[in-house]
Amino acid sequence: MPRRWRTGLVLVAAVVAFAAGCSGSSEKKLLGDFFRASRLRDDLTLGNFATATFDPRTDGIVESFDVTSVSDEKVAPVPLKQYVKDIEDAKAADTDATTKRREFYNANSAAIARFAKLEAENKPIPPKDQPLKSTWDKWVQEGNDKRKAVSDAQRRLGDARGMAELSLSRPNGATVDASTLDVEMATKEVLVAASVRPPNGQPATKNLKAVLMRAKAKDKSGKEVTGRWIVSSVKPA
């Protein structure tokens, strides 16, 4: 074999070995910090870079682990501005329904009080009151539905906003208001083989899947801002 070929093969082998050594290195550091803080039940530290938990009292203690694979990143937009608008629209619809329901009640308060008392006493509603009761029941149900719509919209915003802001903000720094930004979220899955000591028993090898997420955003000036990777989930693979 010519010398230059041997030299080329050595260089290729070195590059492959270096790439293999680097593969999963950043993910391993992040997950190492996660498992260490989990072992110590250091929720304050975990809150800086994770929304996941690995409770030593129930999940056990990860004594060591190796990253076996890292998936490609999947990127999807997070419509925070739309979620904010959804809340405003839901609140407006709830306010309108509340106003109309109150008007109906004020116009029929005596009859509503009468069949409400009968219901509380588990007595039948007279036929003459049944059409009115049916209408009132619809108003009550609509009110419940409108309030639930507001609650659901607030929860959607809170879930997505919390992850984005944790990623974009810096520990001990000001919290970024992600609801004013155009945000997209990158997600990747990391598979690990871990030696886990259960609360009672001997260590055993377990395959775990960690989901990492990172926000990317553009501020009002159009400047791109890239957040930190956050551990959003760690579960059995």
Burial 136-164 (b: 16+ CB within 10 A, else e): beebeebbeebeebbeebbebbeebbebb
- Per DSSP (E only), the strands in 55-97 are 61-70, 74-78
pLDDT at 30: 97
**Stated pTM of the model:** 0.71
Are 68 and 92 a contacting pair, CB within 8 Å?
no
**pLDDT by 10s per residue, the chain, length 237:** 554 444 443 333 333 333 334 446 899 999 999 999 999 999 999 999 999 999 999 999 999 999 999 999 999 999 988 999 999 999 999 999 999 999 999 999 999 999 899 989 999 999 988 999 999 999 999 999 999 999 999 999 988 888 999 999 887 777 788 888 889 999 999 999 999 999 988 999 999 999 999 999 987 777 888 999 999 999 999
Residue ranges in 108-190 assigned as alpha helix (H): 109-120, 130-168
The DSSP call for residue 68 is E
How far is C-alpha 3 from the chain's CA centre? 56
Predicted local distance difference test score (pLDDT) of residue 170: 81
Query: pLDDT value at position 24?
Result: 65
Q: What does the block give as tokens for 233?
A: 């989930």
Q: Which residues are within 8 A (CB) of 61 and not within 5 positions of it... i.e. 6 or more apart?
A: 38, 39, 196, 197
pLDDT at 211: 98
- As to burial, measured by CB atoms within 10 angstroms (0-12 exposed, 13-18 middle, 19+ buried), residue 2 is exposed
Pairing of strands 204-218, 224-226: antiparallel
